[in-house]
Structure 1
Amino acid sequence: MSLNIEHAEGESPTVIKLTEPSGWTAEVLRYGGQVVSWKNDHGEELLFMSSKAIWKPPKAIRGGIPVCFPQFANFGTLEQHGFARNRWWSLDSDPSPLQPADSQSSVDLLLKSTEETLKTWPRSFEFRLRISLSAGKLTFIPRVKNTDNKACTFTFALRNYFSVSDISEVRVEGLETLDYFDNLKERERFTEQADAITFDDEVDRVYLSTPIKIAIIDHDKKRTIVLRKEGLPDAVVWNPWDKKAKALPDFGDDDYKRMLCVDSAVVENPIVLKPTEEWKGWQVLSIVSSSYCSGQLDPRKVLGGLN
């Protein structure tokens, strides 16, 4: 396996390319610590990128997998989704206490507090992020250490923009019967009544105390994306639909038809770290080829067939 780094601005690596023998690839930017591409062994892109994404700092990039820290959405007093997604990260030369990566298909990134971040969030921190690629899987291990002399509190999310064939043909399994905040109704709390989440209008919900596995089933592609997570108890489901898409300057009018966000998050109960304490989570995205069964995909087999 190989790790290729393109250089720009002198010796600063800007785009980090991960590859593995069967042909799966991923691209990570130092800007935002953001994955902007994940392709399977056929070269098919699995992540959504807005047709109007702004690639020039200091703007955040609409698509891929942004890192939302130390705030997700407007659950707090900082800028929406925090500042980590529009800051430059460095390569982490000392990712301890993690074990060394067993292959070169991993990259370790580091974001530290600066004079600039302290003006908006007056806490010293070290945020380490490992991103690893293997055949059919993309793994994230975020870790935040409080290096301040006071406690810090934050919310967090990995915002997963998935590429789908047709949003009207997608269903999300694993969130049935759960409570959620509906951001379209002033964060009022509801309980999910449907057997699965399907889409025919704008959706912006924070599901609470979610299971370790969630399945995003794409009927047209006969493919399921399985999201597994730990330390990230909440899940955000978002699609802007047509009116919101037209109102977003960095979002194409019809882009909503081919995307869905299902995020791993900590929202309802923010993380609180005492001085020197560290928080750690993980997320694994994997692809399962699914076949139709009586006209429907069987998510129980998908969810139960993975360890």
Structure 2
Amino acid sequence: MSSERTCLELCKGINGLDKIILREVRGSSAEVYLFGGQVTSWKNDHGEELLFLSSKAVFKPPKPIRGGIPICFPQFGSHGTLEQHGFARNKFWSIDTDPPPFPTNSSSKVFIDLILKPSDEDFKLWPHSYEFRLRVALGPGGDLMLTSRIRNTSTDGKPFTFTFAYHTYLSVSDISEVRVEGLETIDYLDNLRERERSTEQGDAITFEGEVDKVYVSTPTKIAILDHEKKRTFVLRKDGLPDAVVWNPWDRKAKAIPDLGDEDYKHMLCVEAAAVEKPITLKPGEEWKGRQELSAVPSSYCSGQLDPQRVLLGS
């Protein structure tokens, strides 16, 4: 292992679950639980938490962890034969000690490679052979990168099909002060209206009630502007054509047992995803999907956010 591995620490997290802490030399950090292969914390170099974790999150397998970045595979949502959002988020992953080479320059990043393979029990639920490799990396500027590689390892010639999302919970000061830019004029499927297809109007998405939308064929870059914190999250994605935007609002939040009643005010899920058109892999084929998150100071122009500067300048 290279010298940068000194920035990794394997330790016990909540309820004795194994977790890995990644530390970047300038001070940013991330935590990844082997349960779910799930990032639960991402802090900038000031130690500020950038991801939302529910005040009632349950760290007791097989219950998924509410918050951070759960991985939805091989099914997003409940449209399918599996449990909601599939099973990857409530399985125990392993550290991948012999990953195939990643075609990225990793010399300036601290990273961990995880792997998930099906168990005999999984085969009963989803009878397919696969290897799911996940790399979680911290860049020198504190950027958080997740790269997923899913390979069909079947020897019986059977293809399989899946949908996917990085179910990213961002920490925000106040949901009513947040706007999402980059999805204007994009078509979406509205999960609150039986997946009715509509087109986004207006120059930004703002929040005044429950939202659960799958934006399709979206740009590779989306900005989430937190007016109060003067912070902008920039989400870049590759291999993931869709983007899910979700906030349960007050009534739905009260109905979710592992979410605090007021938690919805301080979270927003913006998720790089492949939902509308499922991905099919023949034996031997591999799919790759990547999400990169960065947090930058918002620039202001006469009291208004200047998203163009953020989108062009970052």
With structure 1 as the length reference, what TM-score do the two structures score? 0.96
List gaps (5 residues or longer) in structure 1: none
* Residues 246-295 of structure 1: CA deviation (Å, up to 9, x unaligned): 00001100000000000000000000000110001111101111122111
Give 1:102 shift. Answer: 2.2
- Tell me if structure 2 keeps the 8 A contact 1:75–1:155: no
Match of 2:120?
115
Does residue 40 in structure 1 map to residue 44 in structure 2? yes
* Residues 113-132 of structure 1: CA deviation (Å, up to 9, x unaligned): 11111111110100000000
List gaps (5 residues or longer) in structure 2: none
Structure 2 residue matching 1:129: 3-state secondary structure: strand
Moved over 4 A (4+): none
Measured in 2, the distance between the counterparts of 1:296 and 1:160 equals 26
Match of 2:143?
137
Measured in 2, the distance between the counterparts of 1:298 and 1:292 equals 6
Give 1:98 shift. Answer: 1.4
What residue identity is the alignment partner of 2:161? T
Measured in 1, the distance between the counterparts of 2:303 and 2:20 equals 41
Give 1:97 shift. Answer: 3.3
Match for residue 178 of structure 2 among 170, 180, 194? 170
- Tell me if structure 1 keeps the 8 A contact 2:109–2:138: no
- Tell me if structure 2 keeps the 8 A contact 1:180–1:207: yes
Residue 251 and residue 49 in structure 1: after superposition, are their counterparts in 2 closer, same or farther (change >3 A)? same
Structure 1 residue matching 2:276: 3-state secondary structure: strand
CA RMSD of aligned residues (A): 1.4
Match of 1:53?
57
Match of 2:294?
286
Does residue 207 in structure 1 map to residue 215 in structure 2? yes
- Tell me if structure 1 keeps the 8 A contact 2:240–2:272: yes
Give identity over the alignment, percent.
66
Match for residue 184 of structure 1 among 182, 187, 192? 192
- Tell me if structure 2 keeps the 8 A contact 1:3–1:104: no
* Residues 175-208 of structure 1: CA deviation (Å, up to 9, x unaligned): 0001000000011000001210000100000000
With structure 2 as the length reference, what TM-score do the two structures score? 0.94
Measured in 1, the distance between the counterparts of 2:307 and 2:106 equals 32
Measured in 2, the distance between the counterparts of 1:226 and 1:302 equals 8
Residue 60 and residue 175 in structure 1: after superposition, are their counterparts in 2 closer, same or farther (change >3 A)? same
What residue identity is the alignment partner of 2:123? L
